[in-house]
A and B are shown apart, each in its own frame.
Chain A
Amino acid sequence: MPVQCLPGTDVEWYSAKKERDMKRVFQTAAVFFAALSAFVVWESWNLEYYTSLGPGPGFFPLWLGIAMGGLSLAWLGGEFSRSGKPKDRAFLPPRAGIVRILSILAALAAMAGFMTLLGFQLTMFLFLVFLLMVLGRQALWVTLVVAFLCSVGVYHLFGSYLDVALPAASVKFLAGLGL
């Protein structure tokens, strides 16, 4: 049987679907917190709850886990019973935004992983070039000047004036270059 489309029905359908999806996201988050609480309670259960002196190491985390579980369930219940649109402003970022966020997190992780191998100066230089040029869309000369000053400059500033030695490269060739 053909479905008759009324004016505005599509918009309402999408809006209702979006609301349902949003609710599901919030419910999932509440379930995540509840699961985390259950894990904490389980871990604390294996610790000593009470000793001859008084409360043991398991006492505080156990009660916190229970409290967290209760609050998570209250949140979950609230999400099930709530009617109307969640009070959010553009919850999900656009696809390009997600790419930017993941790029930043990946760049930070790469920086942490390679810093002791390639040395602070080179990894920070590459890190800044990536952020300035690829994500920030800055001109090449701006990118190079800022990246150079901030990588080499910060390395020497911290090493010479603040007494904080940042890592040098552990690769012999790079170490030989003073990086």
Chain B
Amino acid sequence: MELFDHLSIGLQTLFTPGNLFFCFIGVLMGTLVGVLPGLGPTAAIALLLPATFHTSPVASIIMLAGIYYGAMYGGSTTSILVNIPGEAASVVTCLDGYQMALQGRAGPALGIAAFGSFIAGTISVLGLMLIAPPLAKLALAFGPPEYFSLMLMGIVMLIYLASGSILKALMMAVFGLLVGTIGQDSISGTLRLTFGIRELYDGIGLIPAIMGLFGVSEVIVNVERAVKSEVVATGARNLLPTLQDWRDSIRPILRGSVLGFLIGILPGPSSTISSFTSYAMEKRVSKNPEKFGKGAIEGVAGPEAANNAATGGSFIPLLTLGIPANAVTALLLGAFMIHGIAPGPLLISKHPDLFWGTIISMYLGNIMLLVLNLPLIGLWVQVLRVPYPILFPLILLFCLVGVFSLNYSPVEVGLMIGFGAFGYVARKFQFELAPLVLALVIGPMVENYLRLSLIISRGSPWIFFKRPISAVFILITLALLISPLVPWIGRVREKLREKVEREKG
């Protein structure tokens, strides 16, 4: 009965004109950025974050969450029609989706991607609804040592799952934590690494950093080579899959949904990992694995379901523990903070409207996305024709307005430019930016929990091992850090990484 009461709160919250409007805008923008190559959900959320400063927290989170799962829907369109993944998570969809398009079956490929995404999205929302409340109750027993250990484990897991060098991912995480220490120390009030610049007293703003790392640097990477404007797209007709298509796809969709949801809970680029894992799994269980890469509908259905389910799963650590699992949820955490709300175990009891409203909005958002992505597919094909030379100045415009409208500070615009240049150079040196963003967002919390733990223990680091939950997290963290040094684990990881690179390439 309690669940029905909660659902009723969610429905009442969502079904107001304002919240419905923001839900629609979120999924619309999500589909748009998913369709447009070179602009991912992280950059889109960063760009639209300032637009939510003056809206209610519920409307803001509903919209930003809509961008996240909406981008997963839109990402498949470009993969299938033009063999260009709109999203990293849709890379694997190119393999069979584009082959289907070449065989004149773009319609069923798009159709099954949309239906698969809808089914997976729905399953993951149900999972979120059932798992989040008990997990939040469990997390009430957490103190500073448990939170510190958990956050440390989150960062290390994200590093471990990074597709590139672990050393470089670790460097980015430490650099992010360092950047997070800039400003006034929250316990003693001492200024740290501010160089006398008043604008840095409150620390490095999340928005200038994100806009620079994901907005400006993305543009720079794209204009580095010639700014191209031509787009070739094949047509899409007969979007409804046949009965045989459904027979071939329903199991991959269900398997992908469960797999994606479970991977989504873990820290890391869960959408991408889940789509690759689902593809590998479908190929392995298939009676005709030789069909994969030549237009097998299972190769579209499974990964598309998995990457959508992963978005739902990734909300669990954010909403119940207040810990983001990846760069996108780190930004959502930033959005919560901007509105003065701390996500975590108390979120459900303190802000039931926000929690349940967001969950119900995800269900409705999935229905909206189905409508947006099937009958309106022609519109998205047209969007693909917007030339990048027009698009990139508009991205920079949003970056500038977003950062400037925050505090009207040219210094923050300077910071954005600096982070943009740094992001570009870091990508050149094959550094991943996700650990940096995650560490930057949760860095101040990590430091506070560490210091509070040491205050409680009077300086003894054994507190992290004496408390059982914390000890488990620390042991997992240590195991993850040590495992690349074990030769055979390192070789397996390297082989997996090479396989992913090969399939991407």
Contact = CB atoms under 8 A, between A and B. Distances in A.
Contact of A64 (B168, B177, B416, B454): B177
B266 to A, nearest CB: 24
B430 A88 contact: yes
Given A74-B167, A93-B224, A138 B390 contact: yes
A104 B224 contact: no
Interface stretch (B116-124, B231-239, B244-252, B421-429): B421-429
Interface stretch (A6-14, A55-63, A171-179): A55-63
Contact of A48 (B181, B188, B216, B227): B188
Contacts of A50: 459
Interface size class of A (residues with CB under 8 A): 35 or more
A136 B167 contact: no
A16 interface: no
A-side interface mostly:
helix
Contact of B225 (A68, A93, A162, A166): A93
Nearest to B184: A57
Given A158-B405, A164-B50, A105 B174 contact: no
Interface residues of B, number: 58
Nearest to B394: A150
B54 interface: yes
B178 A61 contact: yes
A136 B400 contact: no
Contacts of A87: 430
Given A47-B190, A135-B227, A64 B400 contact: no
Nearest to B171: A71
A13 to B, nearest CB: 25
Contacts of A94: 225
Interface in A134-174: 135-138, 142, 146, 150, 154, 158, 162-164, 166-167
Contacts of B54: 162-164
A136 B413 contact: no
A47 to B, nearest CB: 6
B171 A75 contact: yes
Contacts of B50: 164
Interface string B392-415: 111011001100110010100110
A166 B450 CA distance: 40
A137 B392 CA distance: 12
A43 B193 contact: yes
Contact of B171 (A57, A60, A68): A68
Contact of A124 (B178, B187, B397): B397
Contacts, number: 166
A64 B227 contact: no
Interface in B417-447: 417, 420-421, 424, 428-430, 447
A112 interface: yes
B188 A51 contact: yes
Contact of B178 (A26, A64, A75, A138): A64
Contacts of B450: 55, 60
B429 A26 contact: yes
A167 B393 CA distance: 20
B174 A68 contact: yes
B390 A60 contact: no
B455 interface: yes
B53 A60 contact: no
A97 interface: yes
A48 B470 CA distance: 28
B7 interface: no
Contact of A108 (B413, B454, B459): B413
B181 A104 contact: no
The residue in B174, B193, B387 that gathers the most chain A C-beta atoms within 10 A of its C-beta is: B174
A105 B420 contact: yes
Interface in B89-146: none
B223 A100 contact: yes
Contacts of A100: 223-224, 227
A161 B84 CA distance: 36
B174 A71 contact: yes
B43 interface: no
Given A136-B227, A158-B405, A162-B51, A57 B220 contact: no
26 contacts: A54-B459, A55-B451, A55-B454, A56-B188, A57-B185, A64-B177, A67-B174, A68-B175, A71-B171, A75-B167, A75-B168, A100-B223, A105-B420, A108-B417, A111-B413, A115-B404, A116-B408, A127-B396, A128-B393, A136-B390, A137-B389, A138-B387, A138-B389, A146-B394, A154-B401, A166-B404
Can you list the 8 inter-chain pairs with the closest CB atoms, starting with the nearest? A136-B389, A54-B455, A112-B413, A57-B185, A131-B393, A57-B190, A93-B224, A97-B224
Interface of B: 50-51, 53-54, 167-168, 170-171, 174-175, 177-178, 181, 185, 187-188, 190, 192-193, 216, 219-220, 223-227, 387, 389-390, 392-394, 396-397, 400-401, 404-405, 408, 410, 413-414, 416-417, 420-421, 424, 428-430, 447, 450-451, 454-455, 458-459
Given A71-B167, A136-B227, 4 more contacts: A61-B178, A61-B181, A96-B226, A154-B401
